[in-house]
Structure 1
Amino acid sequence: MARTSYISVLRIVAIFLVILIHSSSGYLNSNDFESFDWSYANWLNSFSRFAVPLFVIISGALLLQKDESTGQFYRKRLLKIVPPFLFWTIVYLLYYFIRYIDFDYIGFPQVINIVLIRLKSGTNAHLWYLYMILGLYLAVPFIRKIVGNCSKRELEIFLGLWFAALFFTNKWFNSYLPNFDLTFFSGYAGYLVLGHYLRNYPIQMVKLSSFTFFLICCLITASGTSHLSVSRGEFDPTLYNYLSPNIALSGGFLFIFVQGLKLPEQLSAFWEFIDIHSFGIYLCHILLLNYIHPLLQLPTLWKIPVATVLTLLASALLTYLLRKVPYGKYVSG
């Protein structure tokens, strides 16, 4: 099995599940916890929430291996991230104004205020990922030096402290724990180290065991979210948090499971196409999903997966076409 083969599979799984999250999340706002739509959306989300952390784990598996100067890394990586970041920030800002704002009722000061508010964390909700990943990329050269000088045992200690920090920095768990300062070990950087560790020191588990543990973590997310929501009387996304222990374990166990599969050295042309366009798919999929989802006159059982598949295909095609226009490859993602 080629080492990059399982990475490609994980990336494809992650981008599909990100779209599935966005196809199903709207049903969770109904607070009708006994309805099929809410339960179905909760189960789909619970088995998908690790998708964004999985992207970061993949980045750690790939980026922390390399030996290059800080300047080289910044030039190479930031040039791949910043132009698409600026382009799609503008696209979604224009989309927001065109679709939701009536200029007959707001003035120039209100427009500026809306722009500033939306630029704070992303002109569309999913663009928060770019803000996060830019911060991580700035840290990668320094994290490389740390992990490069760590033994396997030291990496395991770091990951153990990071996993503990997931409890101490989570507002729900934190209310039951002392205020130890574990901020150094907290955050998405732990996913980078986890990816580096799993690639260099693959955990030899029976495939059935790793997949079973993965299922258990997802079941905890689903049943826990249902219980918390019913108790609160409104949707409670505490266990959906990307930095929750259950989500971290879900992503880690799925990585271990796929890493242990006997995959072909090269994927088929279709899956290779999805893989190489995955970043662009992430960036543009909300734009297309917002039109595809309402057009489907299907029961919820089928509407969510069909909308997900169609959005995946349409987003891959749009990314491909953008890369064909002059300078499009620099901004498409």
Structure 2
Amino acid sequence: MNQSKNTELSKTPSKRIFYYDVLRALAIIGIVFCHVSVSYVSRDINSPNLYISVFFDCFRDFSIPIFVMLSGALLLGKKDTLIKFFKKRLSRLFIPFLFWVLVYIIFTSAMSHGFNLDSALKIVFGTAGTLGVHFWFVWMIIIAYVGIFIINKVMQLDMNINDFNKKFITILAILSVIYICLSHYYIINPYTPQLTYYLSFLAYIIIGYFLAKCDFLEKRIDGKYLIATTTLLFIGSYLWYIFCFVVPRSHLVHQFVRLSYFNLLILFMSANAFLLFKYLSKTKAFISMENNQLGNAFTTISNYSYGIYLIHYLVLYCIKINLIKFINFTQGSSLVWIPLLVLLTTAISLAILSILDKIPYLDKVTGKK
């Protein structure tokens, strides 16, 4: 095997990386924000309050890409056999998924006073308009695993090329950006068919691995400037997205308008958010946070992030149908109720998963890392 392959881009982390945990925790909270705020966006579509509800709703636009990029950062470069790779990943992915799909189907059947096969299948496959609308992500990850495994096998080939892995991933990252660029200008349509859409997320997987492992800028620019730059770029691009695109366009057509994940602006926001926490992870304040209460909270949420993703939509629905009996929160301020409902949904989801984690056999359905 060519020794030059042992480059920084081919190294696999030997221990938990705290900034990954922080990013994963913030990403799952961002997704909860999106699902909480969607009803407020519909309510405020012709109101100035749309700025507030859209600000929260669009957290999803960089949260999903960050989730996918973290998968790339963690799984690309692994030297597993086919059986080991899929047994390890799919068992952790499928067991919780199948359990919660069954719970969602039973709940939906009880609410509609009868089982309906078509409705059940729509929940399983994450069809829009069902309680299982968010389950599409699981199928996307499963399909993405196939791509990850193939890329890993190529990275293990003896190509007799200096720095092969580094060059290979760099080329794939460039091609991934080109693919998103082509989608941005509608030259290709990643949404058709569905399989193509799921496979398209490989672009974010490759970019995530590249951003996590490449330290080109860190070797040449002081960390504080990188932090300041990525902070300004992320905040600036997100505010431009909300105030100059989403809200004006939504007001114009009287319905919520957002960009595809395969858009240069979404890529730009997501990449800057990812890099910001990568650069922050080198600071003393960030390192010291790992062992304090805030750091423990991030780690806990990160550990249960997959479980929270699976359960939170049902938890949110139950909160809403019960809370409305006492408070008409649907007419309340989105600035108050969206964060409050996010807090309640996340806390209750975590509590349920923590309880299940202490019960034999049911601990397998929590999705805990």
Q: TM-score, normalised by structure 1?
A: 0.85
Which residue of structure 2 aligns with residue 235 of structure 1? 256
Task: Provide the rounded CA distance (Å) in 2 between the counterparts of 1:58 and 1:270.
Answer: 19
Q: Distance in 1 between matches of 2:21 and 2:124?
A: 32
Aligned residues: 316
Q: Given residue 292 of structure 1, which amino acid in structure 2 is its aligned partner?
A: I
Deviation at 1:187, TM superposition (A): 0.9
Quick one: distance in 2 between partners of 1:44 and 1:254? 16
Asked if 1:112 corresponds to 2:126, the answer is: no
Q: Is the 8 A contact 1:31 1:233 kept in 2?
A: no
Per the TM alignment, residue 160 of structure 1 is displaced from its structure 2 partner at its CA by 2.6
Structure 1 residues 169, 313: CA separation in 2 closer, same or farther (over 3 Å shift)?
Answer: same
Q: Which of 147, 155, 175 is matched with 1:161 structurally?
A: 175
2:226 is aligned to: 206
> Gapped runs of 5+ residues in structure 1?
none
Does residue 85 of the first structure (1) align with residue 101 of the second (2)? no
The answer for the alignment partner of 1:278 in structure 2 is 305
Shift, 1:186, TM fit: 6.8
Checking the alignment, whether the CA contact within 8 Å between 1:165 and 1:185 is kept in structure 2 is: no
Q: State the 1:210 CA deviation.
A: 0.7
- Match for residue 264 of structure 2 among 245, 248, 258: 245
Q: Which runs of 5+ in 2 are unaligned?
A: 1-14, 158-163, 190-195, 219-224
2:279 aligned to 235, 242, 260, which one?
260
Deviation at 1:17, TM superposition (A): 0.8
Contact 1:165–1:186 (Cα < 8 Å) also in 2:
no
Determine the structure 1 residue equivalent to 2:366.
332
The residue correspondences of 1:288-303 to structure 2 (distance < 5 A) are 288-293=315-320, 295=323, 297=329, 299-303=333-337
Q: Distance in 2 between matches of 1:185 and 1:79?
A: 20
Deviates more, 1:293-302 or 1:128-137: 293-302
Which residue number in structure 2 is paired with residue 308 of structure 1?
A: 342
Which amino acid is 2:169 matched to? L
CA RMSD across the alignment: 2.7
SS of 1:49 mapped into structure 2: helix
CA contact (8 A) 2:45 2:250 kept: no
Q: 1:73 aligns with which of 74, 85, 91?
A: 85
Shift of 1:188: 0.5
Answer whether contact 2:230 2:275 (CA < 8 A) is retained. Answer: yes
Percent identical among aligned pairs is 26
Q: Distance in 1 between matches of 2:354 and 2:197?
A: 40
Residue 43 and residue 147 in structure 1: after superposition, are their counterparts in 2 closer, same or farther (change >3 A)?
A: farther
What is the one-letter code of the residue matched to 1:33? N
User: Structure 1 pair 151/186, CA: closer, same or farther in 2 (3 Å)?
Assistant: same
> Once the 2 structures are TM-superposed, how far is the Cα of residue 125 of structure 1 from its aligned partner?
0.9
* CA contact 1:20–1:304 (8 Å) conserved in 2: yes
Compute the displacement of 1:230 (Å): 2.7
Provide the rounded CA distance (Å) in 1 between the counterparts of 2:74 and 2:350: 23
Verify: 1:218 aligned to 2:238, yes or no: yes
Contact 2:37 2:57 in 1 (8 A): yes
- Which residue of the other structure, out of 15, 20, 28, is the alignment partner of 1:7? 20
- Runs of 4+ more than 4 Å apart: 147-151, 183-186
SS at match of 1:234: coil
Alignment partners' CA distance in 2, 1:85 and 1:253: 31
CA distance in 2, matches of 1:331, 1:138: 23
Distance 1:22 1:214, change over 3 A: same
Displacement after TM superposition at 1:185 (Å): 12
Helix, strand or coil: the match of 2:17?
Answer: helix
